[in-house]
Chains A and B, each alone.
Chain A
């Protein structure tokens, strides 16, 4: 489902180029749940960005759902995300000037779905926000905003779900609720989940844990298991 071979990422900075990812090899199968763990600055978010097609690998091969990213235009990658990838961010990244329902409907509307509006309402209902359809993000609590973002990520039934510390800005109880929702929604569609987290308990809920340090994979319990 997701395949990375010898992927490197080097970004320019005022102090000179910085190597963020250093030869990542990773293969994730369909329906797998993978947690990405590691200290701040280890390259977790960058890896997620590369997989989402939001950042281009400096070298190496990236393929998602059988689509090789090499030579693909920005717009082709956008269409791939629209159809196959759902993303949840720590900072929610809702469009502040759109209502909850409008936010959730975006991927469906971009795909030209006739029932986008109805399905967006359904998705919000499924995360317990059926009564908040016309509210703007500013009128929602943090937990509600993340639930809206979650509904938006899953509404188009993507085959891959990417989540970047989805509970990082939430209190423990709300965070727990969001994670429960994330896992149950994933289970409904059988989507592949890649989850960045600092929480070992949460990482433990995934079938596979991948550890990153200094831009390299330092731990992958699937490989460990295979070797064992």
Chain B
């Protein structure tokens, strides 16, 4: 204890000279902690906001959703009797047009009743109630639209807008909508209509892609679970999706959790990169205290005393860095709130959550210890005799045996913190494993560079020789720079390649035979007219049309979905309604991988053709069965064959294609794809919309652009975190340069005395950093490429292409920054005047 007290006193005395020498230590650690804390507090704020605003987002305490079906009289009566309040809405995509100019636009239509919204406010401009905005006034029903629709159709308040066969008066702009959590893909601006006019406008027809929602307030004091059990018991085959407050916006919550996981892991990488800077700073500090340590040992200080003295200093400095990092992390939600509130439609900016701050602090402390312990332990072995012999390389000192298990425990705790809190632990573990492998690879590469620079025949060119010898000289920062810069560049290369691949697939890689339009909601009685209209366009090709309805898988091999263990990759198939179709014949290009197609005139027990990818994930094969609820009725079908689906073709694809018979009796609409050249696009869209007001045309490119926008905002967030990793790498570089500045000054003076010119010295430095940067960039390209390949092909199940241009731009910029940082940091050494350093009078 006395030893610790004395160490504490000495540590404080040493720190009296200020923290100036520890700027890089503090910056490296604080940056990583701030990144982790910010990701943690912002995502916690978002998730808390989701919970807090759950009633608004869900639109009630319970949301019941049915696909294209109104409630039966019994269902309506039951719900009215078992709720305190009740509101009905319907959502679909439709075409809205200006009746005067005939300009049209796809809209996200929501038809609402008078009770809407049950919770929250629909903010309108000019301010008015929903009811007065939509009511029948002077012979016209009202409509409310997002500002974008006014802009796109060049409409003003009081103008008319035509939807389906009905015309509405635009009475207000929607400023905010309480029950619209961030939707990943929106194909058009929002348009609100009165629910009672949906049928009259010819929009809700049998088989139309309409989702009907009933939001209600639970009976006083009744928990959701009890209510859910009662409604299920009362209507076991209703086929509705029931959501309570715990799942107000599950896809948003999942999205936030996934982005948080990825950004946390990238933040952790930044912290680890910063850790290299911590190690360098501690080593440099101990190097500068070499004489002090040796002198204290001469005076009787033990190795453990020396260790404690500097361990306390590292702890104190870590606490300062943690405080700085947490300050930034704590403020992050307040800074981000204005941007995210609009994006996610939830109230943000409350007091920061403590848990992510604690987590970031713990990770910061563990990282500092992980990287500082080795130089600390080695310093305790520094012999007193080093006072009389200069240049003992501290890195050659033997570390005490206790160090290795201690480092293992710390690394284990760090990994546990990263993995245990993650939503997807397998992914997190994979990431940590990958990062560790990358770290090891860069370490090996550093050794190879040092070995190679030493083993190469001494080049005749002075500049090159200087640069090469700078790489392997004792105390050269090669290892630290390669590790930190390499990891930073790897993260950036990975993020760049993933982003570029996704953009490419969405934007550029439209297959030649990709359709231009999807037309949805074509009714049975419109099929013939639609076909002949499209045939009338000479330049329209690739016309495909299939019947479509929607249903939800309720059982597999007669086992209810709730009792199944579903792999996470396939969970989406069971979460909502899926599009279904039926066919007599297989599609001409169809590739069966198992089983056989049913005979053309087959009318027996229902069979289904299933996606082979899904079958593989679920462990299903020919002969197994699926039960699908369609319009409240369970249909069980035997799997007749498995089919390969190429989603990237953008053609109409269905996971499940049924045999005709049972399903073709159900009310369905048709979906059609048409490919047409750009000149004909407008005319075709107009013609279809004029002839079939209920049919909506979705431009494939517009849909993909919407998808790209969503991807871009995620990529920007992840890219920003990735940049933090590179920034940490550059900080380490700056630290390494600062640590070696004294040596470089001395060397440059001695070399100048011996006749070296400034161009020769500057060339040597530039080449040194160029070589380091080039090696980092090359390895980063390989590891980054590999990591991006894994994410694209294994996690996202997409096709990977090695996009050289964005990779080169990113890594080139990284290389340039390395050079600039390196030279800027060492330039001063070149200008050091010789005389003062050499004078010994």
Listed in ascending order, the chain A residues whose CB lies under 8 Å from chain B are 40-41, 44-46, 49, 52, 54-55, 74-75, 78-83, 87, 89-91, 93-98, 102, 106-107, 109-112, 114, 117, 136-139, 152, 164-165, 168
B800-841 vs A, Cβ < 8 Å mask (1 yes, 0 no): 000000000000000000000000000000000011001111
B838 near A89 (CB under 8 angstroms)? yes
Residues of A within 8 A of B750 (CB): 93-95, 106
Given A98-B469, A112-B462, A74-B758 contact (CB < 8 Å): yes
Rounded to whole Å, the gap between the CB of B476 and the closest CB of chain A is 7
Q: Could you tell me the distance between the alpha carbons of A63 and B390 in the complex, rounded to whole angstroms?
A: 38
B755 near A81 (CB under 8 angstroms)? yes
Interface residues of B in 155-182 (CB under 8 A from A): none
Residues of A within 8 A of B743 (CB): 96-97
Given A81-B755, A97-B473, A55-B835 contact (CB < 8 Å): yes
Q: Could you tell me the distance between the alpha carbons of A136 and B838 in the complex, rounded to whole angstroms?
A: 20
Residues of B within 8 A of A152 (CB): 754
4 smallest A-B Cβ distances: which pairs? A82-B755, A138-B391, A97-B473, A75-B757
Q: Could you tell me the distance between the alpha carbons of A30 and B752 in the complex, rounded to whole angstroms?
A: 24
Residues of A within 8 A of B474 (CB): 96-97, 136
Q: List 10 A-B contacts (CB under 8 A).
A: A40-B841, A45-B838, A78-B755, A82-B754, A94-B750, A97-B475, A106-B756, A110-B756, A117-B458, A138-B391
Contacts A96-B391, A96-B474 known; list 10 others, CB within 8 Å. Answer: A44-B841, A74-B752, A74-B758, A81-B753, A82-B754, A82-B756, A106-B750, A106-B756, A110-B462, A110-B755
Residues of A within 8 A of B752 (CB): 54, 74, 78
Residue of B nearest to A168 (CB): B840
Rounded to whole Å, the gap between the CB of A105 and the closest CB of chain B is 8
Residue of A nearest to B839 (CB): A45
Given A55-B835, A89-B840, A112-B462, A138-B755 contact (CB < 8 Å): no
Residue of B nearest to A116 (CB): B458
Given A44-B841, A91-B840, A136-B474, A96-B390 contact (CB < 8 Å): yes
Rounded to whole Å, the gap between the CB of B832 and the closest CB of chain A is 11
Which of the listed residues B751, B757, B759 has the most CB atoms from chain A within 10 Å of its own CB? B757
Residues of B within 8 A of A81 (CB): 753-755
Rounded to whole Å, the gap between the CB of A186 and the closest CB of chain B is 18
Residue of B nearest to A96 (CB): B391
Residues of B within 8 A of A110 (CB): 462, 751, 754-756, 760
B: contact size bracket: 20 to 34
**Taking the complex as formed, is B512 at the interface, i.e. its CB lies under 8 A from any CB of chain A?**
no
Which of the listed residues B474, B752, B755, B835 has the most CB atoms from chain A within 10 Å of its own CB? B755
Residue of A nearest to B391 (CB): A138
Q: Could you tell me the distance between the alpha carbons of A83 and B473 in the complex, rounded to whole angstroms?
A: 26
B473 near A106 (CB under 8 angstroms)? no
Residues of B within 8 A of A95 (CB): 746-747, 750-751
Which of the listed residues A90, A109, A117, A137 has the most CB atoms from chain B within 10 Å of its own CB? A109
**Taking the complex as formed, is B460 at the interface, i.e. its CB lies under 8 A from any CB of chain A?**
yes
B391 near A52 (CB under 8 angstroms)? no
Q: Could you tell me the distance between the alpha carbons of A55 and B389 in the complex, rounded to whole angstroms?
A: 31
A164 near B840 (CB under 8 angstroms)? yes
A106 near B751 (CB under 8 angstroms)? yes
Residues of A within 8 A of B390 (CB): 96, 137-138
Residues of A within 8 A of B458 (CB): 117
Q: Could you tell me the distance between the alpha carbons of A82 and B392 in the complex, rounded to whole angstroms?
A: 31
Which of the listed residues B465, B747, B752 has the most CB atoms from chain A within 10 Å of its own CB? B752
Rounded to whole Å, the gap between the CB of A19 and the closest CB of chain B is 15
Residues of B within 8 A of A114 (CB): 460
Q: Select one of B391, B465, B756, B838 contacting A54, CB under 8 A.
A: B838
B753 near A87 (CB under 8 angstroms)? yes
Residues of B within 8 A of A93 (CB): 750, 753, 838
Residue of A nearest to B752 (CB): A78
Q: Could you tell me the distance between the alpha carbons of A103 and B469 in the complex, rounded to whole angstroms?
A: 12
Q: Could you tell me the distance between the alpha carbons of A74 and B753 in the complex, rounded to whole angstroms?
A: 11
B755 near A90 (CB under 8 angstroms)? no
Residues of B within 8 A of A82 (CB): 754-756
B391 near A136 (CB under 8 angstroms)? yes
Residues of B within 8 A of A111 (CB): 755
Residues of B within 8 A of A107 (CB): 754-755
Rounded to whole Å, the gap between the CB of A210 and the closest CB of chain B is 16
Residue of B nearest to A93 (CB): B750
Residues of A within 8 A of B756 (CB): 78, 82, 106, 110
Given A79-B755, A107-B754, A98-B840 contact (CB < 8 Å): no
Q: Select one of A45, A75, A97 contacting B841, CB under 8 A.
A: A45
Q: Could you tell me the distance between the alpha carbons of A152 and B756 in the complex, rounded to whole angstroms?
A: 14
A138 near B389 (CB under 8 angstroms)? yes
Residues of B within 8 A of A112 (CB): 460, 462
